[in-house]
Amino acid sequence: MLPLETTREFVLDRCQARKSVRVRVADALGLVTASEIIASQNIPQFPNTAMDGFAVRSADVADAPCELRVVETIAAGHAPQVTVGPGEASRIMTGATIPPGADAVVMVERTAIVSDSAADGEIVRVEVSVPPDNHVRPVGDDLHAGDNVFPAGTELAAGHLGVLCSLGMTEVEVYPRPRVGVLSTGDELVDDGSPLQPGQIRDSNRRTLLALAHRADVETVDLGLARDDPAEIEAALAIGVQTCDAIVTSGGVSMGDFDYVKAVLDRIGDMRWMQVAIKPAKPLAFGTVGDVPVFGLPGNPVSSMVSFELFARPGLRSMMGHPQPIRPTVVAFAAEDLLRRPDGKTHFMRVLATPLGGRTAVRSAGGQGSHMLWAMAKSNALAVIPDGDGVRAGDKLDVLLLD
């Protein structure tokens, strides 16, 4: 049996990031930058007010309370027209440019309009003195032109997209989202809702694997369902290779008489058949057909999901340019015994991880058989149980938090 880490390294070596492309910022959520982003301008570009209030000369209000003549009202998005002279102030709205002459803002809550006569104009009473730069956001307060904003390899989240927009960028250089085809194989599978004949079951893997791929932020392609028939499997894989950047299959990679996926992939691809020292998901077929990585995952529903999580997800994230494609584990503690038998494998138990007193408590999500999809569905984490007898209530353990 191969260690998990060695197997994953083998996979990641063959899942390199693809050639970068320029995409619209509007389409870039979740993608990874292929080059560093340098600020082309200062943000903010002009000094502006953080508060609604009055732009003043700080020296004028040093002996507040005092009264100032209001010479202008400046709204956000409108350039000031009047210089604030001694004894004067301009009413100003959050985000509006600080007018020339003024060097500070008094928030509106610390002021009162004391007269608004036709003869004298508007007079504001300022209740407090303020230092220079009070509530003023200076040029470049957030970013300076030339700053290295985000290094290459940054996953673009909501805030990142906002920064790109602030900088006036409409496009960004990223690694493309791979198109990932998902294929189910097996004579027993039914996917059209028709009544089950004896021995038949519903195809559940394709939906879960498509959903996991979607959550991994790749583009998904449903390659359908192939019977245990070499010609049918080869035809489906051929479509996959033509239309996708990576393929995920489930089933047909074990030692059974009708596990033809193995035979076909061996003929058309450069595959490695691996027994990984983990449970579930011991068998893994991985390789390439042409330059398309193919993940041949085991058929048991839980195994296929765990295998996707441990191998396919990191591989696909690596193709997307993620510098850290493997989910980090977090340290938790067992809220109950999580027992197992020694068998030379690392077990990935389906568990529920919940916050408890500043720590993460972990308990079993239910049946641990590799066909028991219900417990997998109810779990939110995989507990990493090293070879041995398992962990006891109160023990520390590593967990992989799932989406």
Give the chain's length.
403
Comparing CB distances to ligand AMP, the nearer of 179 and 227 is 227
Stretch of 93-101, 134-142, 146-154, 182-190 contacting Mg ion, by CB under 5 A: 182-190
Amino acid at 50: A
Question: CB 282 → Mg ion: shortest distance, Å?
Answer: 15
Residue among 184 and 368 whose Cβ is closer to ligand AMP: 184
Q: Please tell me the number of Cα atoms within 13 Å of 265 on its side-chain side.
A: 30
**254 lies in the site for ligand AMP, by CB under 6 A:** yes
- Which helix H or strand E contains 371, and what residues bound it? none
Site string for ligand AMP, 203-242 (x = CB under 6 A): xxxx------------------------------------
Pick the piece of the chain touching Mg ion (CB under 5 A) from 1-9, 128-136, 298-306, 383-391. 298-306
Q: Which residues contact 377 (CB under 8 A, 6 or more apart)?
A: none
Binding mask 245-274 for Mg ion (x = CB under 5 A): ------xx----------------------
Q: Choose the one of ligand AMP, Mg ion, none that binds residue 364, judging by a C-beta under 5 to 8 angstroms depending on kind.
A: none
Q: Kindly state the number of chain residues that form the binding site for ligand AMP, as judged by CB under 6 A.
A: 20
CB of 255 vs Mg ion, minimal distance in Å: 11
- Residues 348, 384: contact at Cβ < 8 Å? yes
Distances in Å between the alpha carbon of 394 and those of 52, 84, 351, 362, 365? 54, 68, 15, 10, 17
Distance CA 96, CA 74 (A): 6
The binder of ligand AMP chosen from 186, 240, 296, 321 (CB under 6 A): 186
* d(C-alpha 53, C-alpha 97), whole Å: 12
Q: Whose CA is closest to 98, among 133, 124, 141, 71? A: 133
Residue of the chain from 240, 299, 321, 325 that contacts ligand AMP (CB under 6 A): 299
For position 189 contacting ligand AMP by CB under 6 A, the verdict is yes
Q: What span, in angstroms and rounded, lies between the C-alpha atoms of 36 and 152?
A: 4
What residue 203 binds from ligand AMP, Mg ion, none (CB within 5 to 8 A, per partner kind)?
A: ligand AMP
Backbone angles phi, psi at 158, to 5 degrees: -55, -50
Residue 254 touches which member of Mg ion, ligand AMP, none, C-beta under 5-8 Å by kind:
ligand AMP
Shortest spacing between CB 242 and ligand AMP, in angstroms: 22
Measured between alpha carbons, how far is 69 from 238 in angstroms, rounded to an integer?
79
d(CA 232, CA 235): 5
Exposure on the CB side of residue 149, measured as CA atoms within 13 A: 28
Instruction: Give the single-character DSSP code of 152.
Output: T
User: Residue for token digits 């959903």?
Assistant: 211
Q: Which CB atom, from 256 or from 386, has the smaller least distance to Mg ion?
A: 256
- Binding residue for Mg ion, selected from 53, 101, 176, 186, defined by CB under 5 A: 186
Q: State the binding partner of 56 from Mg ion, ligand AMP, none, CB within 5 to 8 A by kind.
A: none
Picked from Mg ion, ligand AMP, none, the partner binding residue 181 (CB below 5 to 8 A depending on kind) is none
Task: Say how many residues touch Mg ion, by CB under 5 A.
Answer: 4
Nearer to ligand AMP, 251 or 314 (CB): 251
Q: Give 223 or 385: the residue with its C-beta nearer to ligand AMP.
A: 223
Shortest Å distance, C-beta 199 to ligand AMP: 9
- Please choose which of ligand AMP, Mg ion, none residue 325 contacts, taking the beta carbon within 5 to 8 angstroms, the exact cut-off set by kind: none
Task: Please say whether the beta carbons of 47 and 134 come within 8 A.
Answer: no
Alpha carbons within 13 angstroms on the beta-carbon side of residue 185 total 30
Shorter beta-carbon distance to ligand AMP: residue 105 or 302 = 302
- Asked if residue 250 binds ligand AMP (CB under 6 A), the reply is yes
C-alpha 14/C-alpha 324 separation (Å) is: 15
- The CA distance from 55 to 106, in Å, is 7
Residue 43 DSSP one-character state:
B
Q: Which residues bind ligand AMP (CB under 6 A)?
A: 184, 186, 188-189, 201, 203-206, 250-254, 256, 259, 298-301
